[in-house]
Chains A and B, each alone.
Chain A
Amino acid sequence: MTREGRCACGAVTFTVDGDPAGQGVCSCLNCQRRTGSVIGVAARYAEGKVRLSGETRPFSRTSDEGNVTTFQFCPVCGSTVIWRNTGMPGFTMVAVGCLADRDFPAPKMSVFGERRPAWVTLADGITEYLDD
């Protein structure tokens, strides 16, 4: 099964083949700033399962652990569509919202929930890993 995603303006599109190898929610401050939302939703795919079309611009940041995450965003509208992390070689992360598919597999885990406002909670099946 192939799913299709895109940025807000449609200049960048991507496809993902099959279900992700993992999917999760993150409310770290970096994800909140990047998304402008209070949760980031990401799915991890083997690199070859993700095909990106259109011009993107990279933005890299280094985590506390020293891993470098390089995000690819559309220079026309700003949407970040995918990213890769040196700590997860061979995988590409996809911004799940860009697939705009409410039936996409639900996240299995959540991190940095302590940064998430109390008005949003996650379904019981999602394991919370709190930073404490």
Chain B
Amino acid sequence: MWKILLALLCGFFVGKIGQNSSFLRRVGRVFTTGGLLFLLFAMGVRLGMDESIRQEFPRFGSLALGCAFASGVGAAVLANVFERLLGRRTKR
């Protein structure tokens, strides 16, 4: 976790140094998009290669999807209720 926070901090300082540089802003965007797409690709590779996941998918797939959906929705809905209660709707 500390590596991630350190990378964020380093990126922030580099960004601050070249705050007015449109080139650096573009580089930041390329890093973000490229990093994300590679992470997704790697995640797909892992899932595709994992024999146990493919074998157990018929047994666990729908249950896992249900759990994932329920926990995600639960978090989002309660966060929304909390945001409304505090009256701090994030500007969109």
Q: Do A and B come from one complex?
A: no
Residues of A within 8 A of B (CB): none
Residues of B within 8 A of A (CB): none
